[in-house]
Amino acid sequence: MAPRHAALRSHSDRGSASPPRWKQIQAELEEWLSDGRFTPGSRLPTEEELAQQFAVHRHTVRRAVEQLKHDELLRVEQGKGIFVREPSLSYRMGRTTKLSSAATRHGRSLRYRLISVDLVQAIKFGSPLGLPKGHPLIRLQMVRILDGRNIALSWCYYPLPRFEGIAQLIASTGSISAAMKHYGVEEINRKSARVRAVAPTTQDAKILGIERSTPMLEIIHLAIDERKIPIEFSVTRYDGRYFDILIDF
């Protein structure tokens, strides 16, 4: 009464509702990714090797990989192998580095879409930009679009009256730094940045079309011009799946 296939036995033998083998393998592979054994961009063993290691058929491994591909954790290329998916955009952060140049270096298009422009009653404000309370600010809300996909939501604050009409300039030039040039800003220098992991607000989720459970990377940053005068304060939340920061020392 021995079953023909040993592997099938293990399937039927499973005690009270253990998950299917391919799901177990999926979980195992997820652990491999999460504990750093395989870092973004690195190649996994071949399907055949994985099948041997897990003592299953190649199809079973493929089923697990398919799921991880769907979850955007892995990337598979025919003839090449299985790779750990890297974020669409790696931002090498520095004092003067611009996000847009990081995008073009990757051969990607980064655009903005303006959502709203309003004047902020800056009564309880001031602190981030180092301005006195009550100083008027213009506030832009915009979506950052990478290769046609909404990847981030930003609020940017600019002090008035210096940057009167900046919204139109950003909209027409499609670039913040280009718009800034019109106001005599030659250099945009990052003064400080705060990085956090947060959950999207309901508005974030709606505008970016993501789940509330999608982790986001929030960057709060303050920029100054060449005379060390604060020119921009912004809060940006990036979809964590497509964005990361690289820091070299």
Partner DNA sequence: ACGGATTTGTTCGTATGTATG
Partner DNA sequence: ACATACATACGAACAAATCCG
Picked from its own copies, DNA, none, the partner binding residue 101 (CB below 5 to 8 A depending on kind) is none
Q: Which residues, in sequence order, are bridge partners of residue 208?
A: none
153 burial via Cβ count (<10 Å: 0-12, 13-18, 19+): buried
Reported as type and span, the H/E element at residue 29 is helix 21-34
Picked from its own copies, DNA, none, the partner binding residue 4 (CB below 5 to 8 A depending on kind) is DNA
Picked from its own copies, DNA, none, the partner binding residue 183 (CB below 5 to 8 A depending on kind) is none
Least Å from the CB of residue 107 to DNA: 17
* DSSP letters spanning 63-113: HHHHHHHHTTSEEEETTTEEEE---SEEEE--SS--HHHHHHHTT--EEEE
List, in order, residues 6 or more apart from 230 with CB less than 8 Å away. Answer: 129, 130, 131, 159, 191, 222, 223, 224
Least Å from the CB of residue 133 to DNA: 13
**φ, ψ at 235 (rounded to 5°):** -120, 120
Using the rule CB under 8 A, which residue among 157, 163, 167, 169 binds its own copies? 157
Three-state secondary-structure class, residue 167: helix
Query: Residue 230 carries which side chain, given as an amino acid letter?
Result: P
Least Å from the CB of residue 37 to its own copies: 7
8 Å CB contact between 170 and 139? no
In the complex, which residues of this chain contact DNA (CB under 7 A)? 3-5, 7-8, 11-12, 14, 20-23, 44, 46-48, 55-57, 59-60, 62-63, 76-82
Q: Toward DNA, which CB reaches closer, 81 or 126? A: 81
Picked from DNA, its own copies, none, the partner binding residue 229 (CB below 5 to 8 A depending on kind) is none
Task: Determine, following the binding rule CB under 8 A, whether residue 246 of this chain makes contact with its own copies.
Answer: yes
Picked from DNA, its own copies, none, the partner binding residue 248 (CB below 5 to 8 A depending on kind) is its own copies
Using the rule CB under 8 A, which residue among 24, 115, 190, 230 binds its own copies? 190
Give the footprint of its own copies on residues 17-36 (CB under 8 A): 27, 30-31, 34-36
Residue range at the interface with its own copies (CB under 8 A); choices 3-11, 56-64, 166-174, 230-238:
230-238
**Interatomic CA distance for residues 226 and 246, integer angstroms:** 25
